Amino acid sequence: MYKINDYIIYKREVCQIKDILPKFYKDTDYYLLSPLSDDSLTIKVPTDNKEIRNLITKKEVEKIIKEIPNIATIDSDTKQLEAIYKELLSSGTHEDLIKIIKTTYLRNKERLDNNKKTTDKDNYYFNLAEKYLYGEFQVVLNLTYNEAKTYVIDKVTKLVK
C-alpha cells in the first residue's frame, strides 16, 4: 500500500496521493489522488485498483532514453494513423509514447519544411504523448516538465552524434 504524498501512475497520469480514505465505500479503502497536470482536480480510487502502478526508476528512464534512437516510427502513409496513435496511447508503454512523439514530430517537420501547416491530429497526439512521458520523467528525475524534456532531447542528441 502506498503512503500519503507518494507519486504513482493512475491510468497514464502521474498523481500524488493526498489522502487515504479507510473504508470509504463498501468497506474498501480509497486513495485520494491529485493529478500532477491539474492539482485542482482530485480523484478517488480503490487502493486495489489495477490501473495504479509505481513510477519507473531513474535507471529505467536512462535505459529508455538510450533506446530512443532505435525505436521505430509508424508508417505515416497509413490511413489508420489515428487508430494506431490511439492504440499506442492505450498500451501504456514508454516505447509506444516515444513512437508517437517521433512519428508526429517528423510528420510535422516534413510539413513545415514543405511550407505546409501541421495537422491538428498530429499536434494533439504529440502533446498528449509528451505529457504522459515527460510527466513521469519529471517526477523520477526531480526536474520540471520542461527540464525533463530538455534533458531527454540533450541526451538523445548526444547519442545520435
**pLDDT at position 1:** 84
Burial, 47: exposed, middle or buried (Cβ in 10 Å; 0-12, 13-18, 19+)?
A: middle
Question: By the 8 A CB rule, do 24 and 44 touch?
Answer: yes
Tens place of pLDDT per residue across the chain (161 aa): 899 999 999 998 999 999 999 988 899 999 999 999 888 999 999 999 999 999 999 999 999 999 999 999 988 676 788 899 999 998 879 999 999 999 999 999 999 999 999 889 999 999 999 999 999 999 999 999 999 999 999 999 988 87
Q: Coil, strand or helix: which one is 53?
A: strand
| pTM: predicted TM-score of the whole model, two decimal places | 0.89
φ, ψ of residue 40 to 5 degrees: the values are: -85, -15
Question: By the 8 A CB rule, do 24 and 37 touch?
Answer: no
**pLDDT at position 16:** 96
C-alpha cell, 77: 502513409
Which residue do the cell numbers 528525475 mark? 141
C-alpha cell, 39: 492539482
**pLDDT at position 99:** 95
φ, ψ of residue 88 to 5 degrees: the values are: -65, -40
* Amino acid identity for residue 40 in this structure: S
**pLDDT at position 39:** 80
Instruction: Spell out where 36-148 has E strands.
Output: 43-46, 52-53
Q: How far apart are CA 92 and CA 61, in angstroms?
A: 15
**pLDDT at position 28:** 93
C-alpha cell, 46: 480503490
